[in-house]
Structure 1
């Protein structure tokens, strides 16, 4: 997974109200990020969370269940940030897209490790666990799809390839997790603004002055 120590340190899960469940989930994210799904052990995760292996199994019956819950929390946080950003933006599609992209970039910066684990380790989920994660990701992508539909319908987005542009925007922002460094030349705000402008340019929308 690369230099895990260079990734952003923000905890993914706050107190869930269930004992040390949050500590377990955050320890699992760190272990999956450092060693991958196959390399991480439940014993190591329990140690990282400051709990016993038997207590860990009281919360999560298997490592795949634990991975699924980590990824669910990650997607829920991203979806919440996006919906808040769009809700608080202006009524026009350009403002909504700008704020959605800014929110997504902010999430990638804050939860870089979660983004990397979501991309690299999702292949280990099968059946209902994978289906629930896919449904959650579809809901996140739908936030952008609705904005693109609004802008294309009103003529605000002039590209004839709106759906392709939306996919390109999501792919580009997600990929920030692969190369972002906190000590890079762009601040968090500059990075968010840059990618918001990229998104509007792809959609052939009016750019802010």
Structure 2
């Protein structure tokens, strides 16, 4: 696993004492060791709590991973939704801002984004279904923008659904290679990928 990440913690204070430290400890453990390699005992040790107390919060490692990914998806959805609502303009402008918000989330929470694409395969049943539903809500933002642009003739792509899916995949994949010592700043990286997205949907000149 790639253990590089932003110093920004994914989980802030919650209503339950010790929950945030547990979730952030789990994030680091899953990022460094993978779902199968990390143990509940290790998570408890990293969080500075007992194993029995950890089980009071989360009955299994799968529940712990599912809650982490749900919270990551919630923040990504919130950032993307607010970015699109603020711009309130045509599809090209909204797509640009949605992509920038997604990329900035990945840079800010690289480890969470990486765990989200690499470890979700280990979830099953309702745990997996909850994460997929949360992820689909973010995908729907891109689907709707691209569909609107294609219907209006602003986007010339004959494959709007595939284009929207590939834009999201492109943004999430940044978590596998980004390094904060690279040549592009957070803002430059976001702008660059917004440019890629508009090219992918074949935005007509002048927009």
User: What's the Cα RMSD here?
Assistant: 1.3
Q: Post-superposition, which runs of at least 4 consecutive aligned residues in structure 1 deviate over 4 A?
A: 206-209
Whether contact under 8 Å (1:200, 1:207) holds in the other structure is no
Q: Return the match for 1:66 from 64, 67, 73.
A: 64
- Alpha-carbon distance between aligned partners in 2 of 1:162 and 1:114, rounded to the nearest angstrom: 28
Q: Return the match for 2:35 from 32, 37, 44.
A: 37
Match of 1:87 in 2: 85
Whether contact under 8 Å (2:156, 2:204) holds in the other structure is no
- Alpha-carbon distance between aligned partners in 2 of 1:45 and 1:190, rounded to the nearest angstrom: 35
What is the TM-score with the length of structure 2 in the denominator? 0.96
- Alpha-carbon distance between aligned partners in 2 of 1:180 and 1:208, rounded to the nearest angstrom: 31
What is the TM-score with the length of structure 1 in the denominator? 0.95
* CA offsets 1:27-65 (integer angstroms, 9 cap, x no match): 000000010111111111111111111111110011111
Q: Following superposition of structure 1 onto structure 2, how do residues 105-124 of structure 1 map, counting pairs within 5 Å?
A: 105-124=103-122
DSSP-derived class of the 1:10 partner:
coil
**Which stretches in structure 1 are left out of the alignment for 5+ residues?**
none
Whether contact under 8 Å (1:200, 1:206) holds in the other structure is no
DSSP-derived class of the 1:183 partner:
coil
**Which stretches in structure 2 are left out of the alignment for 5+ residues?**
none
* CA offsets 1:58-77 (integer angstroms, 9 cap, x no match): 10011111111011111111
